[in-house]
Amino acid sequence: MSGSSIPPRRNYDNTSRRQKADQTRDKIVAAGSELVHEFESWNWQGLTFKAVAERAAVGERTVYRHFPSEQLLHDAVMQRLEDEAGISYEDIDLTTLDEVTTRIFASLQRFSVRRSAQATDDPTFNTVDERRRAALQSAVATAAAQWSDTEQRAAAALLDLLWNVEAYERMVGVWGLEGSTASQAMRWLIAKMVRAIDGGQSPLA
């Protein structure tokens, strides 16, 4: 027999399947984002497979297939929130601090949170906190390289206090300020701190 009776193998294109999977994943993460915007605190215990599946109108197994643990789900939702707000802690310096601060507090006004949860052990929030602190310390260290490590950390810690959600919520909840007013006041104080740092005025002088 001179010819082969075996039909040529067709190339299987799974592009459509990948696109569908990406769309489903995006739908799940979007559902998670919607849920946390409705929470009354930053406690994400309610961000479960079941809750997200119901909001996304998919099965819990589908959520689990994309996110094998709720921690991975939380991380993906947090990344979505940062993307929605246009927030990135990478490459922050004192010249971009005001812009990032504006975006952070503008995003807070879109949540239903009435109070902050007590200190949480959620690794998602702990990771964000570590990234934020590292970004601030790097920004201060770059602008005030002549300062001691203690001076740099003290200045970064003061900036961190103003970036803290609890500080914003206290201005709104206890002092009765509008969210935009609280944001403006914090940016005013941050700007003064930035000028002091740029001018070499150590907080420990």
For position 1, what pLDDT does the model report?
A: 47
Q: Are residues 57 and 114 in the same domain?
A: no
Domain boundary (85, 117, 141) is at 85
pLDDT per residue rounded down to tens, the chain (205 residues): 455 556 566 655 678 888 999 999 999 999 999 999 999 888 899 999 999 999 999 999 999 999 999 999 999 999 999 999 999 888 789 999 989 988 988 888 888 877 665 556 789 999 999 999 999 999 999 999 999 999 999 999 999 998 888 888 889 889 999 989 999 999 999 999 999 999 999 999 9
For 59, the domain range is 16-85
Q: What is the DSSP letter of 54?
A: H
Same-domain check for residues 53 and 93 = no
- 81/93 same-domain check: no
CATH number at residue 57: 1.10.10
103 and 199 assigned to the same domain: yes
Q: Provide the pLDDT for residue 22.
A: 92
| Euclidean distance between CA atoms 47 and 120, whole angstroms | 14
Two tokens at 12? 């299987």
pLDDT recorded at residue 111: 87
Does any domain span residue 55?
A: yes
Tell me, yes or no, whether 7 lies in a domain: no
Alpha-helical (H) ranges within 39-164 are 49-56, 60-66, 70-85, 97-108, 123-143, 149-163
What are phi and psi for residue 91, nearest 5 degrees? 60, 25
Assess whether 78 and 139 both reside in one domain: no
Q: What is the pLDDT of residues 75-120, one digit of tens each?
A: 999 999 999 999 988 878 999 998 998 898 888 888 887 766 555 6
Domain membership of residue 4 (yes or no) is no
Judge if 98 and 144 occupy the same domain.
yes
| Contact partners, residue 194, CB within 8 Å, separation at least 6 | 94, 97, 98
- In a domain, residue 2? The reply is no
Task: Give me the number of domains the chain comprises.
Answer: 2
| CB count in 10 Å sphere of residue 66 | 18
Let me know if residue 65 belongs to a domain: yes
Task: Identify the pLDDT of residue 119.
Answer: 52
133 and 176 part of one domain: yes
Report whether 193 contacts 141 (CB < 8 A).
no
pLDDT attached to residue 16:
84
- Note whether residue 3 is domain-resident: no
C-alpha distances out from residue 65 to 4, 29, 111, 151, Å: 42, 13, 28, 48
What was the pLDDT predicted at 144? 97
Give the integer Cα–Cα distance in Å for 142 and 62.
46
Report how far residue 81's alpha carbon sits from residue 113's, in angstroms, rounded to the nearest whole number.
Answer: 14
Q: Of 85, 108, 138, which marks where a domain is finished?
A: 85
Is the separation of the CB atoms in 121 and 166 below 8 Å? no
